[in-house]
Amino acid sequence: MRKYVLFLTLLLLASCSGAKGPESAAPAQGQRLRFAVMPKALEIPVFNYAKIGAERQAKEYGNVDILWNAPVTADQLKQKELLESYITQRVDGIAISALNGDFLTETINKAVDAGIPVVTWDSDAPKSKRVAFYGVDDFASGRIMGEETGRLLNGKGKVAIITSYGATNLQRRLDGIKEGLGKFPGLEIVEVFDIKEDSVRCAELIATGTKRYPDLAAWLSTGGWPIFTRNATTAIDPAKTKMISFDTIQPGLDLLREGKVTVLIGQKYFGWGSEAVKLLYDLKHGKNPPATIIDSGVDVVTKENVEDYAAKWKKMESGG
Amino acid sequence: MKKIWQIREFSTVVILVLEILFFTWWLWPDGNRSHPFLNAGNGVLILKYSAIYGIAAVGAAIVIISGGIDLAPGAVIALAGVVAAQLYVVQGWALGSSMTVGVLVGLASGLLTAALVVIVKLPPFIATLGVMGITRGIAFIITEGQYFDVSSRLLGGWRPFGLPADWVAPIIMVTLAIVFQILMTAFQWGRAVFAVGGNETAALFSGIAVNRVKTSVYVISGVLAAVSGVVLVLVQGQGKADLATGYELDIIASSVVGGASLAGGRGSVIGAVLGTLIFGVLRNALPQIPGATFYDRLIVGLVVIVIVVVDQLLLKKRG
C-alpha cells in the first residue's frame, strides 16, 4: 500500500509543485521576447527557409529569441500538444502553419484569450481568433496553376493531382486547381492522390500512377513533394507528361533546367518566417497588422526565368 | 516487506523527479517572468497528453509482461475514435452509445489478435502488425481522408460530472493504472500473466490456462487502446484516421522504461504509466530550449538507453 501512497504523492508533486499563476503577457522594459515559430513538420524542407527568415528577423531586432519547433512528421496531435505547451509556457507570441486549422482553432483561441498574440503563416486557421495570416491566396494560386495547365495542354488531356488531405491551405489550392481546370472541358482529372505529406510515398505514387495512366498529359501537385527529391519524377517521360508543382526549392530548379518539370509555383518561404516575426513584434509594440489576410503573392518559375530566380534565392539564403 | 528502494517503480519515480528538477533549474526564467515549465497549467498539460499514451500503455505493459507484444494500439486508438465520432456526428447517435461502440472496436480488435496468436499460432509481432494494418485501414475507409468534427456537436466543450475535459484523461489513466496494478500483483490472474511471460511451458505444466491468459491480455490491450481513442476524440474534438500514427512504439518504449522486459515475466503497469510521464516531460520541456529542436529526438533516444541500462545494472545488484 505504501508504494501507492508514495506514487500518488510524487505524481501530485510532479504536476503541481511550485505552481504560479500566469502573469501579464506585456513585455517588461528591456526584457527579451520569446516567439514560438511552428511549421507543419520539421521534415518538410521548405520550412527551413522560414526558419532562416525568422532567425534573420530576430537577429535584426536583437531582443527576440525564436523557439523553432514542430512534430518531425505531420502529426496533428503533436502539433496541438506543442501549441498548448507554448501557452502554458507563456511565450510572447506564436506564429504557426496549421496542419489542420479547424483542429487547432480552439487552442489558438485559448492562446489569444490568454493574451498571447497568434499569427498564422503558410496554412491558416480561418475560424480562429488569430490576428493575421501571411501566405499565398491558396485558392487563387491553385486556379492559376489549373489555368496554366490548360494552356500548356491546349485544353485537352488527362491530368492527375497530388495532394495531402487535411491541411486547409492544400484543400483550397486543390479547389482552385479544379476551378482552373474546369474552364477547359477537354481536360479530365483521372485521380486525386493523397500522399499524406510524405515525399517517399509521392515517388511511389507517381511511379504507379504513371504506369496506370500511360496517356497522362500532366501531373499537378498542390505541394512540393515531387521536387523535394531528384528521384520522385524519374518515372515520368517529360516528352509525354508535364509536371507542374508548387514550391521552388532545390532540386526543383535543377529539374526545371533539365526539363523534367515544366512550371513551378514559388511561395515566399523566407517571408513566412520573417514577416510572421515582424507581425508578432509589431503587435507586442502596439502596432496592428495592415490586414487580417496578408497575401504574399507567388512566383511563377519556368525555364525562361529560372536563372534570375535562382540568383535572388541565393542572396536571400545567405541573409541578404 | 521490501525496502522502498528495492521497489522497481521507485527508481522510475526518482528518474521522473530528477527530470522535473533538472528542467525546473534549466528553464528558470529571467526577470519577473513566471516559470515556463513549473506551473500548474503545464503540469495538467503534461498529464493530459501523456494520458493518451498512458491509458494504452497499461494494456501494452500487461501484454509485454505476458511475453507478447502489441503493435496495434496506435491504430486501434485511431479506429475507435473514428467509429465513435462517425456514429456521434454523422449517424446522430447519443454520446454514450457512440463511445461504447468505440470501446467495443477495441474489444473486437483484441479478440482478433488473440485468435491469431492463440488459434492460428502466429507470433504476436506478426499478428499485431496485421491487426495494426487492418484497423488503420478501416479507419481510412470510414473517413476517406476527411475528419469528423465532434466539437461541432459538443458546443461549449465536454464536461463530464462538471470536470474540465483536460482532467478526464489523466484521471482515467491514474484510475486504470491503480486498478490494473492491484489486479496484476494481488490477484491470481495477474500472477498467471507473470508466470506465462516468465516461462510458458512451466506455466502450462503448473495448470495455468495459458491460452485463456493470452486471450485476456490482448483483449485488455485492445479495449484500453480503444478507451484512449475515445477519450482522445472527446478531449480533442475530432475523429481522424491518421491520429496516433506511430504511437505504438512510444507506448512500448514507455513500458520498457517503466521496467518491463521484452522477454516477458517482468514489468509493472504503474511503471509503464510513469514511463509515459518521463516521455511527456521531455516532449513538453525540450521544445522550450531555444536551439534544441533538432537534438530532442537524440536526447529521447539516449534517455531510453540510459534508463534501461541502469535498470539492468540495478536488477543484477538486487538479484
Q: What is the pLDDT along chain B (319 residues), one digit of tens a residue?
A: 566 656 778 888 998 999 999 999 998 887 777 888 898 888 998 999 999 999 999 999 999 999 999 999 999 999 999 999 999 999 999 999 999 999 999 999 999 999 999 999 999 999 999 999 999 999 989 987 678 888 778 766 667 777 887 888 999 999 999 999 999 999 999 999 999 999 999 999 999 999 999 999 999 999 999 999 999 998 888 888 888 988 999 999 999 999 898 999 999 999 999 999 999 999 888 877 777 777 877 888 898 898 888 878 877 776 6
| pLDDT for res B245 | 87
CB count within 10 Å of CB B110 equals 28
Q: How far is B121 from chain A (nearest CA, A)?
A: 33
Question: What are the chain A neighbours of B234 within 8 Å (beta carbons)?
Answer: none
| pLDDT for res A24 | 37
* ipTM score above 0.95: no
The CA distance from B208 to B83, in Å, is: 36
Residues 116-145, chain B: which have Cβ within 8 Å of A? 145
Rg (CA), chain A: 22
Q: Which three cell numbers stand for residue A210?
A: 504513371
Q: Which of B36, B174, B294 sits opposite A90 (nearest CB)?
A: B36
Q: How far is B144 from chain A (nearest CA, A)?
A: 9
B45–A103 C-beta distance less than 8 A? no
A165–B145 C-beta distance less than 8 A? yes
A13–B284 C-beta distance less than 8 A? no
B178–A4 C-beta distance less than 8 A? yes
B13–A15 C-beta distance less than 8 A? no
DSSP designation for B266: -
- CB contact at 8 A, A279 and A290: no
Best A35, A89, A104, A198 residue to mutate vs chain B (most B CBs within 10 Å): A89
What are the residue ranges in chain A where pLDDT is below 70? 1-30, 199, 319-320
The CA distance from A91 to A35, in Å, is: 6
Q: How far is A192 from chain B (nearest CA, A)?
A: 12
| Interchain CB contacts (distance < 8 Å): A and B | 137
The CA distance from B24 to B150, in Å, is: 36
Q: Which of A6, A23, A196 sits opposite B242 (nearest CB)?
A: A196
Quick one: closest CA in B to A35, which residue?
B290
Partners of B304 in beta bridges: none
B34–A90 C-beta distance less than 8 A? yes
B52 touches chain A (CB under 8 A): yes
| pLDDT for res B161 | 75
CB count within 10 Å of CB A211 equals 9
B270–A7 C-beta distance less than 8 A? yes
| pLDDT for res B252 | 94
Quick one: closest CA in A to B156, which residue?
A106
Phi, psi of A235 (to 5 degrees): -70, -15
| pLDDT for res A1 | 38
B38–A106 C-beta distance less than 8 A? no
Q: Which of B13, B38, B237 sits opposite A10 (nearest CB)?
A: B13
| pLDDT for res A320 | 57
Task: Using CA atoms of B144, A137, A249, A263 in order, give the dihedral in degrees to the nearest 10.
Answer: 90
Alpha helices in chain B (DSSP H): 8-26, 40-65, 73-85, 95-114, 124-143, 165-186, 188-198, 200-205, 210-236, 247-257, 269-285, 296-318
Name which of A176, A170, A54 is nearest A122 in CA terms: A170
B147–A166 C-beta distance less than 8 A? yes
Q: Which of A19, A91, A100 sits opposite B39 (nearest CB)?
A: A19
